[in-house]
């Protein structure tokens, strides 16, 4: 379902734990990491689509989360032609998204990457709030920055670090992260999940593009 400008309606999910870290998932059989997201079906509201995608991709139900905030308007990104299926070029341009900020009120073990027969992720981790901007695929970075910036004002107060501007603290927070120094980190993983300590492993030196999907061959 595309709008008249060639953008597919979509929802994005920023899921927080109690430390204001965000869920970061690795797309199945690729080296591409991203937030959960997915298309809005005909007749669905953005909130209905968000809860459906939350279960399909992460295995959570509405009782496991609290809606903290959502973006006011659609945020759009265009997809480079090389990621668009040939028969979709010319009318498919990219995604327009409503982003939701959710607080996990359940437990790490409630997450289940194999909640459906068609999993989207095969590994996941918690990340400091701003770090995904440094590792997301380039053409999504602008939308990620707009969503994270708009929703940052609603972060729960217990994490004092997020009261500061991202430009002042992002580098320091990443430097203090244990993985930045090769230290061993401990994560509780849900059923079917694995942990990849280096989501940056897919770099310019790895020519393999993310696996295509049914809507233009791009990461959802």
Copy the structure tokens of residue 124: 């996941």
Unique residue bearing structure tokens 């959802």: 220
pLDDT tens-place values along the chain, 220 residues long = 888 888 999 999 999 999 999 999 999 999 999 999 999 999 999 999 999 999 999 999 999 999 999 999 999 999 887 777 766 666 788 999 999 999 999 999 999 999 999 999 999 999 999 999 999 999 999 999 999 999 999 999 864 444 444 555 455 554 554 444 444 444 445 555 544 444 444 444 444 444 444 444 444 5
Distances (CA, A) of 63 to 55, 96, 103, 110, 172: 11, 27, 11, 11, 35
Taking Cα atoms as reference points, which of 130, 108, 121 lies closest to residue 177?
Answer: 130
Please provide the size of the chain in residues.
220
With both helix axes pointing from N to C terminus, report the angle between 141-152 and 166-176 in degrees, rounded to the nearest 10.
Answer: 100
Query: What is the value of pTM for the model shown?
Result: 0.73
Distances (CA, A) of 26 to 140, 149, 195, 220: 15, 23, 9, 12
User: How many whole angstroms separate alpha carbon 17 and alpha carbon 198?
Assistant: 20
């Amino acid at each position: 379902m595309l709008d008249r400008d060639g953008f597919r309606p979509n929802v994005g999910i920023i899921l927080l734990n109690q430390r204001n870290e965000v869920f970061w998932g690795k797309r199945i059989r690729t080296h591409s990491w991203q937030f959960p997201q997915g298309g809005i079906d005909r007749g669905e509201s953005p909130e209905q689509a968000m809860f459906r995608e939350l279960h399909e991709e992460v295995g959570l139900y509405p009782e496991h989360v609290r809606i903290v905030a959502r973006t006011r308007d659609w945020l759009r990104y265009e997809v480079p032609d090389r990621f668009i299926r040939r028969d979709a070029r010319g009318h498919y341009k990219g995604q327009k998204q409503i982003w939701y900020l959710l607080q996990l009120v359940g437990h790490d073990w409630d997450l289940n990457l194999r909640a459906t027969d068609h999993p989207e992720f095969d590994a996941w981790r918690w990340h400091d709030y701003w770090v995904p901007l440094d590792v997301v695929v380039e053409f999504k970075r602008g939308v990620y920055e707009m969503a994270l910036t708009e929703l940052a004002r609603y972060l729960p107060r217990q994490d004092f670090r997020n009261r500061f501007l991202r430009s002042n603290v992002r580098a320091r927070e990443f430097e203090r992260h244990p993985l930045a120094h090769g230290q061993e980190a401990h994560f509780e993983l849900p059923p079917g999940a694995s942990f990849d300590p280096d989501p940056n492993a897919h770099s310019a030196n790895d020519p393999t593009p993310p696996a295509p999907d049914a809507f233009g061959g791009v990461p959802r």
